[in-house]
Amino acid sequence: MEEPILKVENLEVGVKKDTGFMNIVNNISFFLKKGETLGIVGESGCGKSMTSLSIMDLTPASVSLKSGKILLKDKDLTAMRKNERRKVRGKEIAMIFQEPMTSLNPVYTIGYQIVEMIRNHQNMTKKQAYQHALNMLQLVGIPRADEILHEYPHQLSGGMRQRVMIAMVLSCSPEILIADEPTTALDVTIQAQILELMKSLQEEMNMSIILITHDLGVVAEMCDRVVVMYAGEIVEESEVHELFENPKHPYTKGLLESLPDVDEDREYLSSIKGTVPSPSEMPEGCRFAPRCAFASEKCQEDPPVFRVNQKSSCKCWLFEDSTAE
């Protein structure tokens, strides 16, 4: 098998409180291969964004990494100093965010911001950098790119801003792109444009993408492999076809069944009873057990990750017969 480009091992992220350390992300491991798109799905508060922010070292000050390794090829990012980490960020791993308005600086022109990024990471003169920025804007399909270069973020629509963000992060040709809900704030027709763009650019530049989203429709369209998170843990990891055809974990099943489907008519949607527990009141053992229809006494104990078949693994006692990883 091809050596993964990014590996996250036993990552634990949390907040320090008076009462002790409160885990937000609890002991998760996954990997990303060259050229693939990995989806991370889960509902709000499941820790998917914190995972990606930890990879970028952009976590808020109150949140800290407790243990675990983040390996980019064979370099351990967690062992790096701040300024080394800074060179990786943007150059090798880049990230786009949900709300393109808040991630662009309103008082600088688009051109200034892209050039700043390019000159930080690459040895280019101002003129070359401007030319490169112009090329990038054209690459992401912005009309009148030479004029847009001198405009401010507020003069653009949401879809255009997201294109500018993509142009900016790709200007240093990163190997890994982390996209945190890149289309959530956009309308469906614009979402279709942006997803199409990301796909074609991925092929062109042979990037790996980590796509973080709560929209399973987007996952089905974009991803090769999917990681499902619930309450700070990875409950299932699976190839995309396997996930939708044959979901393993009761949570994944519940999530898929509660989606309204355009092709199907149902009087009622099935739903998962209850709500996601808050990080301060995590249940003992399996964290999904209180909402799970299949819960048994065994679930008092925290299940390990079982490898169900070649395509998927699952953190649930139902798959005890399979081998533990």
User: Of 105 and 270, which has the nearer Cβ to another protein?
Assistant: 270
Phi, psi for 302 (deg, rounded to 5): -70, 120
User: Of 245 and 297, which has the nearer Cβ to another protein?
Assistant: 245
Tokens of 140: 């992401």
Cβ pair 213, 246 in contact under 8 A: no
- Position 105 contacts another protein (CB under 8 A): no
Measured between alpha carbons, how far is 307 from 323 in angstroms, rounded to an integer?
A: 6
Residue 298 C-beta: closest distance to another protein, Å: 24
Residue 141 C-beta: closest distance to another protein, Å: 10
Q: Which helix (DSSP H) or strand (DSSP E) does residue 163 occupy?
A: helix 158-170
Measured between alpha carbons, how far is 254 from 252 in angstroms, rounded to an integer?
A: 5
Of 5-13, 14-22, 76-84, 217-225, the segment contacting another protein by CB under 8 A is 217-225
Residue 129 C-beta: closest distance to another protein, Å: 28
**Half-sphere exposure at residue 102, Cβ-oriented, CA atoms within 13 angstroms:** 5
Measured between alpha carbons, how far is 113 from 168 in angstroms, rounded to an integer?
A: 8
R_g of the chain, CA atoms, integer Å: 21
Tokens of 165: 């963000």
Of these, 26, 54, 191, 238, which contacts another protein (CB under 8 A)?
Answer: 191
Measured between alpha carbons, how far is 191 from 213 in angstroms, rounded to an integer?
A: 13
Of 52-60, 65-73, 121-129, 189-197, the segment contacting another protein by CB under 8 A is 189-197
Of these, 133, 255, 299, 308, which contacts another protein (CB under 8 A)?
Answer: 255
Of 27-35, 63-71, 78-86, 188-196, the segment contacting another protein by CB under 8 A is 188-196
Going by DSSP bridges, is the β-strand pair 75-76/63-72 parallel, antiparallel, or unpaired?
Answer: antiparallel
User: Of 269 and 324, which has the nearer Cβ to another protein?
Assistant: 269
Site track 257-296 with another protein (rule: CB under 8 A), x = hit: -xxxxxx--xxxxxxxx-xx--------------------
Of these, 66, 69, 199, 214, which contacts another protein (CB under 8 A)?
Answer: 214
Cβ pair 178, 55 in contact under 8 A: yes
Which residues of this protein are in contact with another protein, per CB under 8 A?
43-44, 143, 157, 159-160, 187-193, 195-196, 214-221, 223, 240-241, 244-245, 254-256, 258-263, 266-273, 275-276
